[in-house]
Amino acid sequence: MSQDSSPLSEVPEIIAIDGPAGAGKTTTAREIARRLDFMHLDTGAMYRALALKVLRDGCPLDDAERIGQIAQDARVALLLGESGQRVILDGEDVTDLIRSPEVTQAVTPVCEVGQVRERMVELQRLAGSSGGVVVEGRDIGTVVFPDARIKIFLIADLSERARRRMLELQAAGNTATLDEVMTQIAERDRRDQQRDLAPLRQAADAILIDTTSLSFDQQVEEIIRLYTAR
Ligand code: DC
């Protein structure tokens, strides 16, 4: 079913938000979901949970075959708890653990493995099948939900994204410098854009929003306005 040929009523009520690291996808998607009473699906958190499982297994990060097997056995779910979205890996709440620098490093090679992407896309489609979902990631508009009601590609200047990420890290007690964060984000962008499978790119029918000089409220309201105008 393509968006062009299907009646609007058959298009799943999905808001797809893609973009590079630090563009504000997660906070924006969470707030849009809250205001519209939608579910929020943070697909990056799912890849992070799997990377944590790979690290715990002691599996080398270049062993694609074993990483693929680990993905087949993994049960990754996102639940809405009283303190926001919780990430559950094989029955354990790993919400806080998946934001560690070790997991952030490991997730890049892990999410490049074909079997990992197949398994995650399957779980993501299942989670979004009933609609009423804001889904964010890198390949949502291009691969996971190409028929989404609306697709947003969220970007911001590298220096602004690094500044926002550094503030988040500092709030969590991390002492990373702006230069370090900028280098890490640039490297993650490069690998996300250049990988063979489901690379980060703007879908042809996605709307580009540059948040560099937008306030948080402005970007949330703009996406809701675009969605309700469809
Ligand atoms: O959004 P994030 O930083 O939490 O994502 C973690 C990693 O997962 C990121 O390096 C890219 C990858 N990812 C992906 O490949 N596809 C998605 N749909 C979401 C995230």
Residue 1 falls inside a structural domain: no
Residue 18 falls inside a structural domain: yes
- The Cα 12–Cα 148 span in angstroms is 6
- The Cα 183–Cα 23 span in angstroms is 15
Torsion region of 58: left, alpha or beta (phi above 0 gives left; psi -120 to 50 gives alpha): left
Cβ pair 148, 38 in contact under 8 A: no
- The Cα 26–Cα 103 span in angstroms is 17
Q: What is the pLDDT of residues 110-160, one digit of tens each?
A: 999 999 999 999 999 999 998 999 999 999 999 999 999 999 999 999 999
- The Cα 168–Cα 59 span in angstroms is 29
Residue 165 falls inside a structural domain: yes
Residue 2 falls inside a structural domain: no
Residue 3 falls inside a structural domain: no
For residue 121, what is the domain's CATH number?
A: 3.40.50.300
Tell me how many domains the chain contains.
1
Bridge partners, 80 (sequence order): 85
Q: What is the pLDDT of residues 9-37, one digit of tens each?
A: 566 799 999 999 989 999 999 999 999 99
Q: What is the pLDDT of residues 31-68, one digit of tens each?
A: 999 999 999 999 999 999 999 999 999 999 999 999 99
Q: What is the pLDDT of residues 153-180, one digit of tens each?
A: 999 999 999 999 899 888 888 888 999 9
Domain range holding 63? 9-225
pLDDT, greater one: 200 or 5: 200
Q: 194: CA distance to ligand 1 center in Å?
A: 14
User: Which one of 53, 87, 99, 111 would you pick to mutate in the ligand 1 pocket, going by the greatest count of ligand atoms within 8 A of its CB?
Assistant: 111
Residue 157 falls inside a structural domain: yes
Pull the structure tokens for residue 147.
């028929």
Residue 205 falls inside a structural domain: yes
Residue 164 falls inside a structural domain: yes
Torsion, Cα 168 159 140 170, to 10 degrees, reads -10
Closest residue by Cα to atom 13, ligand 1, is 44
- Identify the weakest region by mean pLDDT among 4-8, 40-44, 106-110, 209-213: 4-8
